[in-house]
Structures are given as C-alpha cells and as structure tokens.
Structure 1
Amino acid sequence: MSVVSRVSGSVLVAAGVAGVALVGPTPASAATAPSMASLVAYVRSGDVYVSKGATETRLTTGGGWSRPRWSPDGRSIALLKGGQLWTMKADGSAKRRLTTRAAAGPSWSADGKSIAFASLSCSGGPGVYTISATTVGASPAVVFPAYCRDEELPAEPAARAAESGSLSERLRADDAVAWSPDGTKVAFRGGDCESIYDACLTVGTLATGGEKTVDAYGGGSRQNSGFAVVPSWRRDGAKLAWTAYQKGETAADDLPVHVVEYDVATGAKRTVGASQDRELAYADTGRAVATGTYKNGSWVMVVNLATGARTPFHQGSQPSVQPVR
C-alpha cells in the first residue's frame, strides 16, 4: 500500500482514503514567467527552446526533437532526434549524431565526457549504455544489466515510434535514464527487478553492477499496477525524483500521474507538485521545474519544493535546467 505525504499548498493522496483525488494548487498567472538563475531547456511542438524568464530562444527547427539534457558545464545539450542520440552546443549549433542505435532519455556523466542512454540490451529488455560525448565514431558500451557487459551488442533496433494514447500510456514506456552527480550510479526503468515485479525503477552501481529497486508495481505480492519513469537527481545526489502512476487494488488506492521524491539516505518518499505533474528537473534544493497541465495543455511549471506552489513558466514539456557556472 502506498502512502503519500502532504505538502503545504498541494493536497495529496493517502492510499486507502476513499474519494480523495490527487490535486494541486491553481497555477499563478502566466503573464510574466518567473526568473530563473540559469537557462531551462524544454520542448514544444517537437523543437527545443531555452529561457531564463519571459524571453525564449528556439534552438532547433523541423520537429522530431525530444528529451534535452544539459551537460555538467552547461555548454552542451544531449537530446534525441527521431529516437536517436544527438548533441549540440548551448546555442543550438554544432548538432552531431552520436549513434544510430535507438536511444531513450540521455544523461551526462559527471565529467561531461560520456553520455548514458537506454536501448535494447542482451536481455531483450531495456538496458543502459554509455558512449563518448567527444570521440567521433565512438561505439556504445552496455553497463546494465551487468551480465550483458561481456556479451556482443544486440543488433541495432529501429527507433521506436512515439507512444500514443493517454498521458499514462505515453509515459509508461519512457526509458529516460539519470546518471548520479557523483558519477557512481545510474537510475533507469526496469532491471533485474522485472523478474519479480511487473514494472520497477532501479538505481544501478556502475563499479559493481549491483542494482537496487527503489519503486515497483505489480507482482511480488503487490496488488497494484503502474510505473515509475523519467528519473532525475538533485545536484547534491541526496534526492532522486521520478514520474509515477498507480492503479490500486481499489479506486481509493489509485494515484494519477504525479512526481515522487525519494530520499537516498532514508528511503523516504513524498509526492511533490500536483496531479498530472511529471518529468521533474531540479533547479536547486528549493525549486524545480516540471511538466504540468495548464490552460488545457502541457506547460513547464516552476515548483516550490517546500510549499508545493506552482508557477507557469512557458508552454512546453521535458524541462532540463542548465547548471549554474
């Protein structure tokens, strides 16, 4: 049974309380976007934009771009084009495809020399790969599952078509990964836990190949279904957030799409933001950006992590915050 905490300004579900819905505070007026200390990259209509406040800059054209992720030095962005991994400079120039292998949700290493991404592994399910961000023509190497490290790479799968349907259906198979700020771990959907659960989220340790399940749904005596996807680390590595959804044993146990924050030291979890918030990225210890629903569309929302207050930033989704240099 899931128990979700309450944060001032957001009313959150405690499983087993009949008739309670996951709701949140009404966003403030979007007339003036809040000011951010550094650029936020986000996607609208298949192209990438960046902004610190009211003014935004478009970095790509032609559509088909997704999941922008800033490098640790803030000078480059990893992103997907048609389901393949690319990089570009912070101003949108020097676009370069790194691999033809189908890829999902990239994440940079702490030193900015490599990028992790998800793709088909020797297990037949999603695996985590790394590839050099600087070497032209570099080959990817699998890191999870660890037993695939000594196997031949599977044939390159075709890029997967974008998911359609409801928000939960589109998010369910998102394989975005997150490399920890200290470079020692990667959070990713799936892993060895899929031999027990129907869906799960894993934190894998690169040095040992060991895996730790941090969220799971269905199977293993769990009377629920759902998913945990799109992980994101706080820059001090003390918190890990992800997008979750749950269908409980009864309607009272249902949790619509929401953001879970996990304390790495204690294992404690809480929900932040509002119903339908997803894809959270930390700005600092006090604020984050997340995709939310506003004006009947997807907007990047600035979220106060202490109070739950949410302010519209710009229309779009999949935000990533440039590290302050």
Structure 2
Amino acid sequence: MKAVIKITGTTALAVFGMAAGALFAPAAASAATPTLPSLVAYVRTGDVYVSKGATETRLTTDGGYNRPRWSPDGTQLAYLKGGQLWTMKADGSAKRRLTTRAASGPSWAPDGKSIAFASLSCSGGPGVYRISTTATNAQPQVLFPSDCRGEALPASPSPATAAPAGLNDRLRTDDAVAWSPDGTKIAFRGGNCESTYDACLTVGTVAAGGERTVAAYGGGGVQNSGFAVVPSWRADGAKLAWTAYQEGETAAENRPVHLVEWDAISGAKRTVGATLDRELAYVDATRGVATGQYNGGSYVMVVGLSGTARTPFHAGSQPSVQPIH
C-alpha cells in the first residue's frame, strides 16, 4: 500500500509537528562534549574516527572512507571505499573487501551474517542487494526490486569519481539503506514508486519483496519536489528517520534539509532536530546523533528527539552508533 502525504501550507507544520520558527532556527549548541553509552563512528576529512565522549580514536589514515556502519555485535564496521563495500574490525584492523561492483550505503542484517547495500538494478534504477559476510568469494543476491530476483545481475556501474559540490546534490542520490532491527524490512531510496513519483523512499519486505512508499515528491498528484534519503531505524523498529528536502508549490512550503521521523505503526511524521541536520542515527528513544552545522562546518551533534536540545560532539559527519549488548 502506498502512503503518500502532500505537504502544503499549515498542514505541513501540523504533519511535521513543529512551528516554522523551530524548523528554521537551530538551537544553540553547548560547548561541553557529552558522554554517550557506546562508541559513535564518523568520518572526518575522509577517515574514520570513533568516540563516546571527549576522547576520540582515529581508525584510518589513508582517506577515502564513507558511511561507516556498526555490525549488530559492535565488533566490526562496514564502510565504503573506492565505491565498493568493505569491512574492518572495530579497531581498524583486518580490512576486507566484500564487493567487486559499485556499492552504496551498507546496512548489516541483525544476525550479522550479511550486509545490504545499494547498486544498479536490472530495471536501471537503484536496487538493493545482500552479500554474505562469512562466505568466501560471496556473490551479491538481489532483494529489491523483487522482480529482479530471478534475473542476471546487471553489469556493475563505474564508481563515481567525484562527489557533487553542493549539499543538496550530494544527498539527493545518496543510496544508503537501513535493515530493520527484526530483519524483516529494508528502507531504501527509490523502488517501484519511481514509476509514479520523481523521488521517493520505500520500506520493502525482505521475504515477499513487497514495497510501501513512505515519502514521495513530484508526480502522482504530489505538487512538490525534493528527496528522502539516508534512512535509519530505532533499535526497537518502531521509528524510522530520514534526511529530507522539499520545494513546495510556494516559497512558504519550502523545507531546507531536515530530519523526519516516521512512526512505523501509525504512519505519522514529524520533524526532529534543526535546519540542515541530517544523517540521524539513534542513540536511544530520546536522543540521536546527526550531522549538523557548527563552528562553520559539519559536526556530529547529539540531538534531543523531544525538543530543541543540540550538543556538539566531534567535527565530522555520517555518524553510526555502536549497538549496546
């Protein structure tokens, strides 16, 4: 079933659950570095760092790293390098390449035995694949679109040589995926909804291959443009957050880059964080870490999910929170 919400005028404020002033005016950030219950991995100038408080550890020194993602047991990180999927231990050792085709936005299965990633599908749009983390010379298997599951894998696209300069352009085609904590669903950019809308975000059912549209822009009677990317599940699977951008029918309906949280049961949406906050990863039910703007650059911020509290953590972006066991 497709769930599409047209965001216009005062309706947009009600749907997002905030006043316009709260959306467009970031809260002041405190200078004290908070201590978190587990490590956060993040990227700064192309290298991966980890920290849970004031002290940080640099895991890599050769640059070119993107989208680090913790394994469910917290002992490994998946990441992108050279446009392909790699893993390494939590201390930065034992680096291992898993794919030989272009890959985007990894997410671990809850059992840690496979990783989902995005790459070109048989339909020509973004698709979702899984690859084993334990088998030798493992080959990717198609998950979405489900119609591609019986087809030969398309030729691998060439990895992008350079990222677009603007923030919106970089995010617009970010194909990060998110595997739900119970293992039954994956959230991803695109999907069958692209036959109706200009841009969309999908939650797909892994077993049956069904798809549900949770955000849509342009086409299908939706008179706006924008994107919804970089999804992230809360640990209990009850909430899904993503990074969004919208250009409405009028200037009053425009929304710069912001974070949306979706209730997986009711389908209700609300905005969390401040303008230009993006790439949320949940710490717990009340806090997340997100990339925001601070001191003139990108900074990992600890964001309160029930108000406007925002505290700077460390310079960087693309945070991922180590699961607690």
SS in 1 for 2:198: strand
SS in 1 for 2:43: strand
Give runs of ≥4 in structure 1 deviating > 6 Å: none
Given that 2:15 and 2:268 are in contact with CA atoms closer than 8 Å, whether structure 1 keeps it comes out as no
Unaligned segments of structure 1, at least 5 residues: 15-19
56-65 vs 309-318, which deviates more?
56-65
Please name the residue that 2:3 is paired with.
none
Q: Structure 2: which amino acid aligns with 1:22?
A: F
1:51-89 superposed Cα distances (whole Å, 9 cap, x missing partner): 010000011111100000000000000000011000000
Please name the residue that 1:246 is paired with.
246
Given that 1:245 and 1:257 are in contact with CA atoms closer than 8 Å, whether structure 2 keeps it comes out as yes
SS in 2 for 1:289: strand
Please name the residue that 1:267 is paired with.
267
Please name the residue that 2:24 is paired with.
22
165-174 vs 43-52, which deviates more?
165-174
Please name the residue that 1:13 is paired with.
20
Q: Structure 1: which amino acid aligns with 2:203?
A: V
Which aligned pairs between 1:1-325 and structure 2 lie closer than 5 A? 1-2=6-7, 3-5=12-14, 12-13=19-20, 22-29=24-31, 32-325=32-325
Rate the CA distance shift 1:40–1:276 in 2: closer, same or farther, 3 A. same
Given that 1:130 and 1:140 are in contact with CA atoms closer than 8 Å, whether structure 2 keeps it comes out as yes
CA distance in 1, matches of 2:116, 2:158: 19
CA distance in 2, matches of 1:159, 1:99: 12
47-56 vs 133-142, which deviates more?
133-142
Q: Structure 1: which amino acid aligns with 2:240?
A: L
CA distance in 1, matches of 2:258, 2:271: 7
Please name the residue that 1:17 is paired with.
none
SS in 2 for 1:102: coil
Q: Percent identity?
A: 69
CA distance in 2, matches of 1:5, 1:277: 20
| CA displacement at 1:146 relative to structure 2 | 0.1
Unaligned segments of structure 2, at least 5 residues: 1-5
SS in 2 for 1:252: helix
| CA displacement at 1:136 relative to structure 2 | 2.3
The two structures, once aligned, show a CA RMSD in angstroms of 1.5
Given that 1:4 and 1:269 are in contact with CA atoms closer than 8 Å, whether structure 2 keeps it comes out as no
TM superposition score normalised by structure 1: 0.94
| CA displacement at 1:308 relative to structure 2 | 2.5
TM superposition score normalised by structure 2: 0.94
SS in 2 for 1:193: helix
